Amino acid sequence: MKIGEVAKQTGLSVKSIRYYHDIGLVCAERGANGYRSYGTAQIDELHFLHHCRELGFTLEDCRALLSLKSDKSRSAEDVKQIANIHLQEVNRRIAQLHNLKQQLSELIHACAGGEQPDCAILKELSAKSPTSS
C-alpha cells in the first residue's frame, strides 16, 4: 500500500509516516520505483504509534513499547513501568498547569482593567522575580 493510502487509514500525516520510517520505528519495503510500500504489519505498527502519540508517549517510549509489543517473551511489568513513568510525567505537567492557572488568575484579578494606562499585569510581568505559588 502506498503512503497516501496508509495516511488515510491510520490518521497520520504522510510527513509523520516518512519520519517514523526515517528514524526506524516502521520499516516499509521500497519497490523498484523507489516508492515505499506498506503492508498490514506496518499499518498495525503505525496505528499503534498513532495511539501511543495521542497518549503523549515520547518517541523513545514508542520505540520501547513497539519493541515490547513484538517481543513474545516480554514482561508485562516492563510495559507497565513505561506507562507508570509516563503517568508520573503527566501528573507533573498537570501540577505545573494548575500552578500556571493560579498565577494567571491572580494576575487577572489584580488588574482593574478600564481605560487607564496603569496595569497590574504588566507591572507584575516586569518584576525581577516572578510570582511563585
pLDDT digits (tens, 9 = 90+) for 3-39: 999 999 999 999 999 999 999 999 988 888 888 899 9
pLDDT digits (tens, 9 = 90+) for 50-95: 999 999 999 999 999 999 999 999 999 999 999 999 999 999 999 9
In angstroms and rounded to an integer, the radius of gyration of the C-alpha atoms of the chain is 23
Give the confidence band of 130 by pLDDT, cuts at 50, 70, 90: low
What is the pLDDT at residue 132?
53
Spatial distance between the Cα atoms of 14 and 12, rounded to a whole number of angstroms: 7
pLDDT digits (tens, 9 = 90+) for 98-108: 999 999 999 99
Record: fold of 1-69: Multidrug-efflux Transporter Regulator; Chain: A; Domain 2 (1.10.1660)
Spatial distance between the Cα atoms of 10 and 17, rounded to a whole number of angstroms: 9
- Cα 16 to its chain centre, rounded Å, is 13
Measured between its terminal Cα atoms, the distance across the chain in Å is 54
Question: Structural domain boundaries of the chain?
Answer: 1-69, 75-133
The 10 Å Cβ neighbour count of residue 87 is: 12
